[in-house]
A and B are shown apart, each in its own frame.
Chain A
Amino acid sequence: MKKFIVLLILCCASVQVWAAEATLQNIKVDTDLPAIESGLDVFMNTCHACHTLKYITYLDLVKLGVDKTKVDGMRGDQPLDTSLVGLMPDAAAEQMFGKVPPDLSLMTHAREGGPSYVYSYLLGYYNTPDGVTHNRIFPATHMPDPLGMSTATDPAQQAKIRKTAHDVVSFLAWAADPHKQERHRLGYYVIGYLAFLTLLLYIVKKQVWSRLK
């Protein structure tokens, strides 16, 4: 009897997973400064209340190109090289949500699907008739709906929320990999050089081997 109940519960649990398992909306992250800065604003106003961004400092924001006076306003009297720790202490968060909100510095890398996962997750909140909020992408989440997608009915409002989500994901993608642009730039030069050198090496090889009878 006990075995049967356990099996039944497992079946229900797995059905729950399958019902909630949705395909991800694939997005392309914006890499231009306005989008990332827009996302920074969303982060500071909405996410920063609970989430840390411990591997990004205010100095990194200045280096990104954000106006220094704006950054100074955000940091108050903390030195420039302070990292963006959260405003909510761990103990309070654990009491309120049952779990410490994870650091977001690497979140767009730390999930299967990358930025598309985070985007779909933020927009994946919905309400059931009993008034409980769930998330389609990660049903076991303890996090409340940050952008209000679960209550948005007006298409214009929904579009605005989607843009907000896109911007904050673009910001988080930058935060996870601040050197991406530099890496790509260097990559083009290195591979261009290597292609040229390899061509030369090929010609030399052919020349040398042609001497063989």
Chain B
Amino acid sequence: MAENEDLGDAKRRNFLIKATAAVGMAGAVAACLPFIDSMNPSADVLAKATTEVDLSGIPVGGVHTVAWQGKPIFIFHRTPEEIKAMQATNGIIDPEPDQKRVKQAEWLVVIGICTHMGCVPNKDAAGWLCPCHGSEYDDSGRVVRGPAPKNLYLPPYKFVAADKIVIGVA
């Protein structure tokens, strides 16, 4: 009888110790989380992760360059003619339909960094021209003349109002 009691006691004691250890371990792990999270981007860095742009100031046919996460973003307010011309072709070097590159046809939003060596292209009549090695892009940001291999990259962005976009969130 005494042995049975001892066994029961031992089992209970073992469970108690295991339970306490589990609760303690859980707390120790939870205590590590703030330390690890403190290494994540802080609030001021996150604030720079998105940039809000008011489109109302950009006239038709005009281009605006804004900074987003340290990179230049071209925002191009395209004329109906330019839109029609861009939708007519897919581009030669890196084929991509214009419709896939815009959310609203009159607004082109691309990262203004040449996909060749990283210079910032300049706007010209037909699109953009990169001064470093002569790459040319059309009014949809698609590469039409190398040495750039790819079209200008698209940042994640979304329309939050008819004339306002937020760059940084899809």
Determine whether the beta carbon of B13 is less than 8 Å from that of A207: yes
Residues in A neighbouring B52, C-beta threshold 8 A:
79-80
Rounded to whole Å, the gap between the CB of B89 and the closest CB of chain A is 38
Indicate if B24 sits at the interface (CB-CB under 8 A).
yes
Q: Give the distance in Å from the alpha carbon of A196 to the alpha carbon of B44 in the complex.
A: 37
Determine whether the beta carbon of B47 is less than 8 Å from that of A196: no
Q: Give the distance in Å from the alpha carbon of A65 to the alpha carbon of B118 in the complex.
A: 40
Indicate if A10 sits at the interface (CB-CB under 8 A).
no
Residues in A neighbouring B19, C-beta threshold 8 A:
200
Select one of A57, A59, A79, A200 contacting B23, CB under 8 A. A200
Determine whether the beta carbon of B20 is less than 8 Å from that of A81: no
Q: Give the distance in Å from the alpha carbon of A207 to the alpha carbon of B15 in the complex.
A: 12
User: What mask results when residues 195 to 208 of chain A are scored 1 for a CB within 8 Å of chain B, else 0?
Assistant: 01100110110010
- Asked whether A207 and B47 contact (CB < 8 A) given A193-B27, A200-B23, the answer is no
User: What mask results when residues 107 to 127 of chain A are scored 1 for a CB within 8 Å of chain B, else 0?
Assistant: 000000000000000000000
Q: Give the distance in Å from the alpha carbon of A174 to the alpha carbon of B169 in the complex.
A: 30
Q: Output the nearest chain B residue to A60 by Cβ-Cβ distance.
A: B43
Indicate if B48 sits at the interface (CB-CB under 8 A).
yes
Interface size range of chain A in the complex: 10 to 19
User: What mask results when residues 36 to 56 of chain B are scored 1 for a CB within 8 Å of chain A, else 0?
Assistant: 000000011001100110000
Indicate if B85 sits at the interface (CB-CB under 8 A).
no
**Interchain residue pairs with CB less than 8 A apart (30):** A57-B47, A59-B43, A59-B47, A79-B51, A79-B52, A80-B47, A80-B52, A81-B44, A81-B47, A81-B48, A193-B27, A194-B27, A196-B23, A197-B20, A197-B23, A197-B27, A200-B16, A200-B19, A200-B20, A200-B23, A200-B24, A201-B20, A201-B24, A203-B20, A204-B16, A204-B17, A204-B20, A207-B13, A207-B16, A207-B17
14 new A-B contacts, CB < 8 A, other than A57-B47, A79-B51, are A57-B44, A59-B47, A79-B52, A80-B47, A80-B52, A193-B27, A197-B20, A197-B24, A200-B19, A200-B20, A201-B24, A204-B17, A207-B13, A207-B17
Which 5 residue pairs spanning A and B have beta carbons closest together? Answer: A81-B47, A200-B20, A204-B20, A59-B47, A197-B23
